[in-house]
Amino acid sequence: MVDPALASRLQFAVTTVVHIIFPVMSMGLAPFLVYFTWKEVRTGEALYERLRRFWTKIFAVSFAVGTVTGLVLEFEFGTNFAAFSAAAGELFGGPLAVEGMMAFFLEATFLGVFVFGRERVSDRLYFLSSVMVGLGTWLSAVWILVANSWMQTPRGYELARESGRLTVLLTDPIAAYANPRFPWMFVHMQNAAVLSVALFMAGVAAYHVYRRRHLGVVDGGNLDAEFWRATLKVALVVLLITAPLQVLHGDAYGRHVAETQPQKFAAMEAVWETDSYVPEYIVAFPTSVDDLLNPRAKDIFGIGIPGGASWLASGGNAQAEITGLNEFEGSPPVAVVFWSFRAMVALGFWFVLLAFWAGYRWRTGELFEDRLLHKALMASSVLGILGVELGWIVTEVGRQPWVIQGVMRTTEGVSPGLTGTEATLTLAGFVGGYLVLLSLYTYVVGRLIRRGPETEDGAEPTLPDRERDPGIAPAATEVSEDD
């Protein structure tokens, strides 16, 4: 018989991992759409209209699928974690209700104007609709992260017993909703979303630039070439800003975690015994073969920077003491947190390297000629979203065994009447359903990307037409020698 708590945790993890893809796409695309719309309204150039139309389609698809998958998460608080909802519903339910009533409806209402109203409203109102859609998207993140950050660093509450049941009472809304973790999570998440979409756009644009050169298509004066080159340039500008910011902010965020959640920080660094001058392991493995699959293995062989973890925790003191996991009651699956953290950090540094590489090629005039760079951008197009997933694993798994840090254990929040069979069946159902949704989303977005933007007269292009690339001589002899 499967433990209902374990099955419920797996179900919430699976649905969250899939769902988070779509809000990341929406939140990350929103600033780009505002920019394209502003340029279209200000200049009247067809290029910005095509950019706005094309990326709005992907935004709309992401918004629709994200709405469906997000509703399931809220239902799971009732079906799988009813004890948590009953105990903390007064405090936790407020932000979720505001998110649904204010942010979601703001976004959904103006999205209708933004998608269908270009010919029906004035330029000023149309631009306002793009801003409102973006504002609604980001406000959704505000309220979701208010609720989640409170679970990480709970403030403004009192514990009580009602009929023998633990209850969390809201006593100070400002302290609760403006808790210490919220600004760190919000900045890190929003920057990660914009960074992820910039990588995605750069990868898509690089694919078309690479493909056109591979087919021997000359780009001079062609609207499609202009479209993808503009996409690549805009994405790289954003990437050059967001990639370094994410690394710098992540470093400071790590110190905040060390101060407010020392147990999670110890899991991120696999520190079991309280010690000073703790190394920052680049890689680490259990010394026993029997421990390779044991997430709680303690004896490890590691290669690291002496004092690096102490330096990271304190902000510059390599001799600083780090409290080990043995000092806490319970601990998360250390291997999952340890490796997720390292993979996320490695991706962050790769994004910085990729941004400066592309920036250098742009400066030297070889941005559209460097085929190795194009391949790297294509390969990295979804790595930003992978980085977000890894960050959420560190955040959520690293908090275990607590559903509310230091207040309520995850096992105490599971629905009392839920059986292992029921939890396992719903887990299997959601895994299947979410895989189908993800496959459909991937197919639709992939097809939009392959087809590319609309033609100049607004008609949908066909794949054969795009392959032939009308109006351009596919002269292989005009392809550069490196082809």
Question: Tokens representing 473?
Answer: 């001589």
Where do the DSSP E strands lie in 204-358? Answer: 275-276, 280-286, 300-305, 321-322
Q: How far is CA 173 from CA 96, 146, 153, 176, in A?
A: 14, 11, 14, 5
CA angle 95, 96, 98 (to 5 degrees): 65
Which tokens sit at 412?
Answer: 């105490």
% of residues, the chain, pLDDT over 70: 89
Q: Which of 351, 343, 330 is nearest to 392 (CA)?
A: 343
Using alpha carbons, select from 269, 267, 295 the residue that is nearest to residue 282.
269
Which pLDDT belongs to residue 270?
A: 85
Could you give the CA distance from residue 100 to residue 104 in angstroms, rounded to a whole number? 5
Cα separation, 263 vs 261, whole angstroms: 5
> What Cα–Cα distance (Å) separates residue 53 from each residue in 44, 114, 152?
14, 10, 39
Q: What pTM was computed for the model?
A: 0.89
How do residues 154-187 score in pLDDT, each as one tens digit?
999 998 887 778 889 999 999 999 999 999 999 9
In the chain, the largest separation of any two C-alpha atoms, in whole Å, equals: 83
- pLDDT tens-place values along the chain, 483 residues long: 688 899 999 999 999 999 999 999 999 999 999 999 999 999 999 999 999 999 999 999 999 999 989 888 888 888 999 999 999 888 888 888 888 888 888 888 899 999 999 989 999 999 999 999 999 999 999 999 999 999 999 999 998 887 778 889 999 999 999 999 999 999 999 999 999 999 999 999 999 999 876 665 656 556 688 899 999 999 999 999 999 999 999 999 999 999 999 999 999 988 888 999 998 888 777 677 666 655 456 666 777 888 999 999 988 899 999 999 989 988 888 889 998 999 999 999 999 999 999 999 999 999 999 999 999 999 999 999 999 999 999 999 999 999 999 999 999 999 988 898 999 999 999 999 999 999 999 999 999 999 888 766 555 554 444 444 444 334 333 434 343
User: What single-letter DSSP state applies at residue 273?
Assistant: S
Query: % helix / strand / coil in the chain, to the nearest 5?
Result: 70, 5, 25
H-only helix segments in 261-328? 262-269, 308-314
Return the closest-CA partner of residue 334 out of 269, 388, 429, 386: 269
> How confident is the model at residue 176, as a pLDDT?
93
